[in-house]
C-alpha cells in the first residue's frame, strides 16, 4: 500500500499510526531505499487516539516535513490505518486542511486490512486515488495510458512496439512519469489499457471524470491466450496487430523448457508478479506439476480453480493469512521449485525465484522472462 501511494512522482508520505501498524515500514527497503527516504512516520499513542488530538498534530507534522526537505514535494500522501477507518476520521477534510497549510495537494491512502476481502480493498482504492489529481484535457488520438501497475512494464515488453506500429506514438504509464507535469499528460489519452483487474475502479474514474474509455487485457502466462488478446485488441481498435514473430519466438521458448517442467513440482505464492492460479494453470498446461499454491482466492478465481482441479486434483491450496500456517512444515519430497517470495520462504530447501522485479512482466515478454528465470535457478 505504501509503495503504491508513493508511485506518484515527487511525492512524500506521512504515515500516522500506533507502533503496531508502522513496524513493517522497514520492508520498504531500509534507510537506503528511495521509498524510505520519502516516508515520514508520526507515532500515535493511546491518548492521541482517544482524545483526537492527533488530528492537528498531523497538519503540523506535514508542515514540518515540507520545511525539512531540500526539494519541495509536489504531492503529500497521508497514510492512515485501521484506527482512522474505525474512528471515522474525515480524511477528505484533513487533506484539505493540509493543503491549505502547506500549499501542496494532499491525498489520502488507507491501510485498512479488514476491507481486503471487501468490494473495494485497499489496493483497488489506492489505484483510483493516485489518478484523482488528473484534470480533464483534450484527447489525442495517438495517445494511450496503461493502468494496472505502480511501476512500468519491462522495457523489452512487446506491447510497446505493437501499439506504436498501429499509430499510438505516446504510451503513458505512471511508473515512467518524472514529475506532475508529465503525470497530467496521462489525461490526454484516447483510451486506457487496463492490465490488472484491480485497476478497473481507476478505469471507471477515467471514464466518468475524464471521458476516457478503457479496454482490458489480462496478464497471462499462456501463449495462446496472449495471442488471442492481441488479436481481439486489434479488432476493437480496427487496426490489425501482427504478433507472429513474438508468438513463434515464445512458442520456441516453451518447447525448449518442457522437458525441465515435466520433472518439476512447483510451489506457487501470491507475492510475485503473477496471479498464482493463472500461473498454476499455465504451468500445468506446459506439462509441469503444481504441488502447492499459497494464496487467498476470491470468487473470481473459481473457474481457474476448477480447471486446475480437473488437471491436477492433488494440488493443495493454502491461505497465507490462515493462522494454521504457523504450523506449516514443507514436504521436501513434494516440492522441487518455488515461485514467489512466500513460496520461497516456505521452501528454503529447494531452488526458487521471487519473480518480483520492479519492472512488470507482461505478454510474451512475461512468459519468456519467467522461463529464463526458472532455467537459471534450476541450473
- Domains, the chain, ranges and CATH? 2-118 (3.40.50.1980), 143-217 (3.40.50.1980), 253-378 (3.40.50.1980)
How far from each other are the two terminal CA atoms of the chain, in whole angstroms? Answer: 35
pLDDT value at residue 353: 97
For the chain, give the percent of residues with pLDDT over 70: 93
Confidence of residue 220 (pLDDT cuts 50, 70, 90): very high
Cα–Cα distance measured from residue 310 to residue 312, given in angstroms and rounded to the nearest whole number: 6
Rounded to an integer, the average pLDDT of 320-324 is: 88
Rounded to an integer, the average pLDDT of 204-232 is: 96
Residue 84 pLDDT > 90, yes or no?
no
Residue 207 pLDDT > 70, yes or no?
yes
Rounded to an integer, the average pLDDT of 352-363 is: 95
Lowest-confidence pick of 55-69, 125-139, 190-204, 325-339: 325-339
pLDDT value at residue 224: 97
User: How does the average pLDDT of the chain come out, rounded?
Assistant: 90
Confidence of residue 117 (pLDDT cuts 50, 70, 90): low
Rounded to an integer, the average pLDDT of 311-332 is: 88
Residue 212 pLDDT > 60, yes or no?
yes
Residue 119 pLDDT > 90, yes or no?
no
Residue 70 pLDDT > 80, yes or no?
yes
pLDDT value at residue 123: 79
- With CA atoms as reference, report the closest residue to 253 among 125, 375, 156: 375
Q: Do the Cβ atoms of 182 and 9 come closer than 8 Å?
A: yes
pLDDT value at residue 111: 75
Residue 24 pLDDT > 80, yes or no?
no
Rounded to an integer, the average pLDDT of 231-254 is: 97
Residues making up the chain, counted from first to last:
379
Span 140-185, pLDDT tens digits: 999 999 999 989 999 999 999 999 999 999 999 999 999 999 999 9
> What's the chain's Rg over C-alpha atoms?
22
pLDDT value at residue 374: 97
pLDDT value at residue 115: 58
Rounded to an integer, the average pLDDT of 131-136 is: 93
List, in sequence order, every residue forming a beta bridge with 42; answer none if it has no partner. Answer: 16
Residue 281 pLDDT > 90, yes or no?
yes
Specify the higher pLDDT residue, 347 or 115: 347
Beta-carbon contacts of residue 130 (< 8 Å; ≥ 6 apart): 4, 5, 7, 8, 107, 150, 174, 202
**Cell numbers for 89:** 476520521
Residue 334 pLDDT > 60, yes or no?
yes
pLDDT value at residue 4: 77
pLDDT value at residue 73: 94
Rounded to an integer, the average pLDDT of 10-37 is: 71
Residue 286 pLDDT > 80, yes or no?
yes
Q: Do the Cβ atoms of 206 and 193 come closer than 8 Å?
A: no
Confidence of residue 37 (pLDDT cuts 50, 70, 90): confident
For the chain, give the percent of residues with pLDDT over 90: 70
Lowest-confidence pick of 159-163, 206-210, 328-332: 328-332
Amino acid at each position: 500500500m505504501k509503495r503504491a501511494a508513493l508511485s506518484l512522482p515527487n511525492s512524500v508520505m506521512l504515515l500516522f499510526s500506533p507502533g503496531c501498524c508502522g513496524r513493517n515500514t522497514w520492508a520498504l527497503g531500509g534507510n537506503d531505499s528511495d521509498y524510505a527516504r520519502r516516508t515520514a512516520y508520526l507515532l500515535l499513542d493511546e491518548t492521541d487516539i482517544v482524545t483526537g488530538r492527533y488530528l492537528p498534530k498531523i497538519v503540523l507534522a506535514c508542515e514540518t516535513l515540507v520545511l525539512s526537505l531540500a526539494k519541495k514535494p509536489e504531492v503529500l500522501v497521508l497514510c492512515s490505518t485501521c484506527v482512522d477507518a474505525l474512528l471515522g476520521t474525515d480524511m477528505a477534510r484533513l487533506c484539505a486542511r493540509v493543503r491549505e497549510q502547506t500549499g501542496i495537494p494532499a491525498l489520502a491512502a488507507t491501510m485498512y486490512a479488514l476491507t481486503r476481502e471487501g468490494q473495494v480493498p485497499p489496493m483497488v482504492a489506492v489505484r483510483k486515488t493516485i489518478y484523482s489529481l488528473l484534470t480533464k484535457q483534450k484527447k489525442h488520438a495517438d495517445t494511450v495510458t496503461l493502468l494496472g501497475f505502480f511501476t512500468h512494464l519491462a522495457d523489452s515488453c512487446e506491447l510497446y512496439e505493437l501499439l506504436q506500429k498501429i499509430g499510438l506514438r505516446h504510451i503513458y504509464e505512471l511508473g515512467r512519469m518524472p514529475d506532475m507535469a508529465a503525470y497530467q499528460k496521462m489525461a490526454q489519452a484516447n483510451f486506457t489499457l487496463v492490465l490488472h483487474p484491480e485497476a478497473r475502479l481507476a478505469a471507471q474514474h477515467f471514464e466518468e471524470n475524464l471521458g476516457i474509455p478503457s479496454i482490458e487485457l489480462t496478464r497471462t502466462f499462456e501463449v495462446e491466450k496472449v495471442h488471442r488478446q492481441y488479436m481481439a485488441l486489434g479488432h476493437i481498435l480496427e487496426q490489425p496487430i501482427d504478433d507472429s514473430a513474438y508468438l513463434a519466438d515464445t512458442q520456441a521458448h516453451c518447447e525448449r523448457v518442457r522437458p525441465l517442467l515435466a520433472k518439476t513440482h512447483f510451489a506457487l505464492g501470491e507475492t510475485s508478479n503473477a496471479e498464482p492460479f493463472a500461473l498454476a494453470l499455465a504451468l500445468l498446461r506446459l506439462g509441469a506439476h503444481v504441488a502447492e499454491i499459497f494464496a487467498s482466492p476470491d470468487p473470481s478465481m473459481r473457474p481457474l480453480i476448477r480447471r486446475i482441479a480437473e488437471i491436477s486434483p492433488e494440488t493443495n491450496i493454502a491461505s497465507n493469512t490462515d493462522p494454521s500456517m504457523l504450523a506449516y512444515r514443507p514436504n521436501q519430497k513434494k516440492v522441487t521449485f518455488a515461485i514467489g517470495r512466500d513460496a520461497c520462504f516456505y521452501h528454503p530447501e529447494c531452488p526458487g525465484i521471487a519473480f518480483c522485479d520492479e519492472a512488470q512482466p507482461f505478454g510474451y515478454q512475461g512468459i519468456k522472462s519467467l522461463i529464463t528465470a526458472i532455467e537459471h535457478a534450476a541450473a
